Amino acid sequence: MSLTLKVKEMAKSHNPNCAYYPNRNYIGTLMESSIRSNSYYRVIALWALCEAMIGGIIHGMRIPVSGLIVGSAAVICISLIGWYHPGKGNILKATLVVAIFKMILSPQAPVTAYIAVFFQGAMGELLFWKRRYYIISCFLLASLALLESALQRIIVLTILYGNDLWKAINDLMNKLTDQQHWTNYSRLFIGSYIAIHLLMGLLIGGVCSVLPKKILLWKNKLPLTISVSPKLSEYNKEKKKKRGRIVFIIWIAFLFLYIQSYFNIGPPLLPESIPLKILMRSVIIVVGWVFIIGPLLRKLLHAWLQKKQGSAQLEVAKVMALLPGTEQVIRSSWDQAKTRRGFKRYSDSFKSILAHSLYDESTGVYILTAPVGTGKTTSVLQWIGEQEQVYGILSPVINGKRYFYDIETKTEFPMEADEATQNTLSVGRFVFRKEAFEKACAIIERSADKAGWLVIDEIGPLELRGEGLATSTVKVLAKRNNRILLVVREGLAEKVMAFCKTPCIIIHDLSELPKE
């Protein structure tokens, strides 16, 4: 009996419901939707990270032009979906997934941020459901999205501070300029603010219209080496709770003073002053929003998104698998452009992020991950039978013993050491033949320059500490970064990605690989 048949029979007897057999109920069914291309989900992952990471930082710092930055990033991602994946419902589905990830990754984001996301998604769906007028659609989407951002900011300011804000600005500016004729500076401010957003919209629209032609050129011009950066530490939640109680008490006091003075309940405790009225009103509305209205609306929105998360669980799981790689591309692109100065660094980072988040479907390093004992090697054997050219090494278990299997010659040799073996490698409770790993490394290096897929099964704790198949894997990745399949047990995918130092796509089923 051939090795292929032996492994299939053993896997079937060990686990009849093996995750990699047809008609299984497993996360491998992620690609059952009609949209098969990984680039669709990579764009969604990039959009979600822009909303959660950049948006969260900007909203936390209260930067007044947040809509220019976050809105521009959203428009770019939507336009890429419109180009690569035109079709009814694709952008709306992506918008829902992005909103779900915004809820997960940036739960304190204001409701107004969700309003902007859904507005951008709705406009994108309306403009890009056919790709016939792509350039015009890019300009319209960018202009409308950034105009909405500007108007939203002005409306929020008016709600918070009332018309007294604009009156105070007019009085202050007219007094400072000492003009004979009264000038409506508030109108000039609002008009300028809207004009800046519209001009930025036209600029971003122009960028989006040429992106599909530029991305492949940028990929070849700006090669990327992945670097691993430490994650940001979390805030001290206990301190935040204590601070929140103090702010709430202050809000109650302000509310009492404002009501007492506004309704003339006894002698007014607050003096008549427009700036003071503006301050009191803003504090009451802002803190009231933070403690009462905002949490209530956010809770309702999150409840609705959680319901939708069930219907979009396949898309959510797919994007979740791509988030670590996309985040590494963003960090590494920024780090690699550090030799540039000023605008050039931002420009090169932007080009590198797009190019390496959307690299060609037929290329890439893929990490197949699943729990131990669920038939990863068996699934690869089945998949190999459907391909024309596959090389490399597999690690099947036959009669309880681990073997190496040369895919090209279809021969196997024992991996585990016996009592007579002198040179060994140990990991956990397993002891392996060192010479077997040396032979496997030679097979991998021999296959590095051959056309077709290269399979390395598997990359585990032994390789992560620099032993086993580590040396040959590093050499192969230095020569090529396409059509490589690494088999990894569940829980090690991100560590292996850092070990590879190259963009990787995490998959859970071989149907997610690009077709020949």
DSSP structure class, residue 230: P
Give the residue from 357, 387, 419 where a domain finishes: 357
Could you tell me the CA-to-CA distances from 61 to 57, 58, 66, 139, 210 in Å, in that order?
6, 5, 9, 29, 32
Contact (Cβ atoms closer than 8 angstroms) between residue 142 and residue 201: yes
Give the residue from 323, 357, 391 where a domain finishes: 357
Residues 451 and 497 in one domain: yes
Residues 270 and 140 in one domain: no
From the list 96, 215, 112, the residue with the least C-alpha distance to 159 is 112
Count Cβ atoms below 10 Å from residue 293 Cβ, excluding itself: 12
484 CB contacts (<8 Å, ≥6 apart)? 364, 365, 366, 453, 454, 456, 476, 477
Predicted pLDDT of residue 249: 67
On the 0-12 / 13-18 / 19+ scale of CB atoms within 10 A, 416 is middle
Residues 208 and 64 in one domain: yes
The helix-helix angle for 313-336 and 90-105 (nearest 10°) equals 70
- Residue 92 forms part of a structural domain: yes
- Residue 178 forms part of a structural domain: yes
Residues 199 and 345 in one domain: yes
- Tokens encoding 64: 């007044």
Chain centroid to Cα 307, Å, comes to 21
- Residue 219 forms part of a structural domain: yes
Residues 406 and 349 in one domain: no
* CATH code, domain with 427: 3.40.50.300
- Tokens encoding 303: 């409840």
261 CB contacts (<8 Å, ≥6 apart)? 268, 269, 270
326 CB contacts (<8 Å, ≥6 apart)? 42, 45, 46, 49, 357
Could you tell me the CA-to-CA distances from 209 to 146, 221, 428 in Å, in that order?
16, 20, 54
DSSP structure class, residue 450: S
**Residue for token digits 């990033």?**
73
Contact (Cβ atoms closer than 8 angstroms) between residue 494 and residue 488: no
- CA-based max dimension of the chain: 103
Bridge partners for 365 per DSSP: 484, 504
Residues 305 and 327 in one domain: no
Predicted pLDDT of residue 57: 56
Residues 379 and 495 in one domain: yes
Residues 257 and 135 in one domain: no
| Per-residue pLDDT tens over the stretch 426-458 | 887 888 999 999 999 999 999 988 888 999 998
Residue 394 phi, psi (nearest 5)? -120, 160
- Residue 317 forms part of a structural domain: yes
Residues 389 and 329 in one domain: no
- Residue 29 forms part of a structural domain: no
Please tell me the distance from the alpha carbon of residue 36 to that of residue 468, in angstroms, as a whole number.
35
Domain containing 302: what range?
238-309
- Residue 15 forms part of a structural domain: no
Please tell me the distance from the alpha carbon of residue 28 to that of residue 380, in angstroms, as a whole number.
13
440 CB contacts (<8 Å, ≥6 apart)? 393, 404, 415, 469, 472
Task: Enumerate residue ranges in the chain where pLDDT < 50.
Answer: 1, 3-4, 6-8, 10-37, 228-241, 360-362
Predicted pLDDT of residue 14: 38
- Residue 18 forms part of a structural domain: no
Task: Give me the number of domains the chain comprises.
Answer: 3
Check the CA dihedral 403-407-408-410 and report its sign.
Answer: positive
Residues 91 and 197 in one domain: yes
Please tell me the distance from the alpha carbon of residue 331 to that of residue 338, in angstroms, as a whole number.
11
- Residue 293 forms part of a structural domain: yes
Predicted pLDDT of residue 232: 34
Predicted pLDDT of residue 4: 47
Please tell me the distance from the alpha carbon of residue 460 to that of residue 469, in angstroms, as a whole number.
9
Give the residue from 339, 357, 375 where a domain finishes: 357
Residues 42 and 184 in one domain: yes
Please tell me the distance from the alpha carbon of residue 186 to that of residue 16, in angstroms, as a whole number.
72
Please tell me the distance from the alpha carbon of residue 480 to that of residue 502, in angstroms, as a whole number.
10
| CA within 13 Å, CB half, 359 | 25
- Tokens encoding 308: 């939708």
Residues, the chain: 516
Residues 476 and 344 in one domain: no
